[in-house]
Structure 1
């Protein structure tokens, strides 16, 4: 399995964790909206501890194809590919824990960088993801990057006592190639 290389974009750098990342994550605290978009329970959120932050960053370090996202000299999130080499595919996940950078297009840039790596370096055939149906901002980002909605898992996630729907999206290598010039 490949180790995640550093990937430089126009505004972001995808890289392995460094010493200051846990502190950057800790300073952002636990954001209820982000927890909800991840499918977590916000009804009894506990403050983020420095140990929680270190564990989060350590998990990124342990995964072969997971990156910290650096923007403006600080860690603001993470991105991950979980590759299945047997069938040339990967599951994609991204999260920006620093809410001050939401809505400025960084998710799109990160996604495009990871797709470029997935299709041009790993030679994957397919990248897919799952996103909660109420996460409209993420769905719009993924569609902008070429992901297609394949279907829904109706009411498959029990979140805060309610059944929520997951949207299943993917992009194939030929779709990426057709869109690549637009990136």
Structure 2
């Protein structure tokens, strides 16, 4: 499997990291709400350092199928597929650290672009994910893109001293094809 290809959408570009992404990441800092949606502890959030922004950039570069999300000329987040080639499946993850773009439908567009690549490019059978049950915005996005809730891990994540529940969701190749054919 090669490096992730550049994927051009209507509003976003999924691409390999470039040096200016470090400054874009640094400029956004750390949002308490974003940290909460990712399952982090919001009780003592430290400001993002330039070193932290550079680490974010380096982690994306280290993954074969991880993209920086470019919107209006700047990096606003990342998307990743972790592929298991033996059984033609992948785990999907997305994070938009720039909270000013939340609610614009970009998560849906990014997810649809990654699913198109996963099913049409990589010929995968299944893409799955896990999301915190309280992340209603993300769950609605995933459902809009065709993901189906398949189960929960009850109180499996200890966050801020409270046990939270993860939701497992997936989409199969035939479900993707059915959705795609309805759209045309």
Partner of 2:27: 27
Gaps of 5+ in 1: none
Supply the RMSD in Å over aligned alpha carbons.
0.8
| 1:2 CA drift (Å) | 2.6
Structure 1 residue 168 corresponds to structure 2 residue 137: no
Aligned length: 183
Distance 2:71 2:140 in 1: 21
Q: Once the 2 structures are TM-superposed, how far is the Cα of residue 16 of structure 1 from its aligned partner?
A: 0.2
Match of 1:46 in 2: 46
Rounded to whole Å, the distance in 2 between the matches of 1:172 and 1:22 is 35
| 2-structure distance, mates of 1:100, 1:161 | 29
1:80 equivalent in structure 2: 80
- Taking the aligned partners of 1:42 and 1:100, their CA distance within structure 2 comes to 19
1:177 aligned to 2:177? Answer: yes
Q: Distance in 1 between matches of 2:32 and 2:22?
A: 19
Q: Compute the displacement of 1:3 (Å).
A: 1.2
Alpha-carbon distance between aligned partners in 1 of 2:99 and 2:47, rounded to the nearest angstrom: 16
Matched with 1:158 is: 158
Report the alpha carbon displacement of residue 110 of structure 1 after superposing the two structures with TM: 0.1
Provide, for residues 47-90 of structure 1, a one-character-per-residue CA deviation record: whole Å limited to 9, x for no partner.
00000000001100110000000000000000000000000000
TM (norm. structure 1) is 0.99
Q: Which runs of 5+ in 2 are unaligned?
A: none
Cα separation, 2, equivalents of 1:4 and 1:58: 15
Equivalence for 1:89: 89
